[in-house]
Amino acid sequence: MFAYDAPSLINMPYVVVTFDDMIVTSKGKDNTWEIRNQSVSFDVWSKTDNVEIIMDDIESGFNDSVLTIDEGTMMRPPHLITRVTQYEQDTKIFHGTLVFEFTIQKSISDA
């Protein structure tokens, strides 16, 4: 199980996204993670003291509406929480649930 913390940000849009039954595969010493399920694929990697998420097309329910996060949108999450149900040591694959709580650092729309 792992979690990242970052300083809280004021007056930023706040989103909580939960994906179940995910497979997380470590991609080596650069601390990059490949996270996949049937319809979602994106990368998470560690910088000096924060984590940035670059997302492909993802639609997520939020406040009874649909939030579409465009490709290349950068997020800086205060919390990245995992609930690992299984870990395969040989293949370094995690099975479980990931919960992302993050603030939007870049506008997802030019409008």
Highest mean pLDDT (candidates 58-67, 73-82, 84-93, 99-108): 84-93
Q: How confident is the model at residue 88 (pLDDT cuts 50, 70, 90)?
A: low
Q: How confident is the model at residue 90 (pLDDT cuts 50, 70, 90)?
A: low
Q: What is the mean pLDDT of residues 57-75?
A: 36
Q: How confident is the model at residue 86 (pLDDT cuts 50, 70, 90)?
A: low
Q: What is the pLDDT of residues 8-29, one digit of tens each?
A: 333 333 333 444 444 444 444 4
* Whether residue 64 has pLDDT greater than 50: no
Within a 10 A sphere around the Cβ of 47, how many other Cβ atoms? 9
Distance, in Å, from the CA atom of 54 to the CA atom of 64, rounded to the nearest integer, reads 24
Q: What is the mean pLDDT of residues 28-39?
A: 41
* CA Rg value for the chain: 14
Q: Do 104 and 67 contact (CB within 8 A), yes or no?
A: no
Q: What is the mean pLDDT of residues 73-82?
A: 41
Burial label for 94, CB within 10 Å (0-12, 13-18, 19+), is: buried
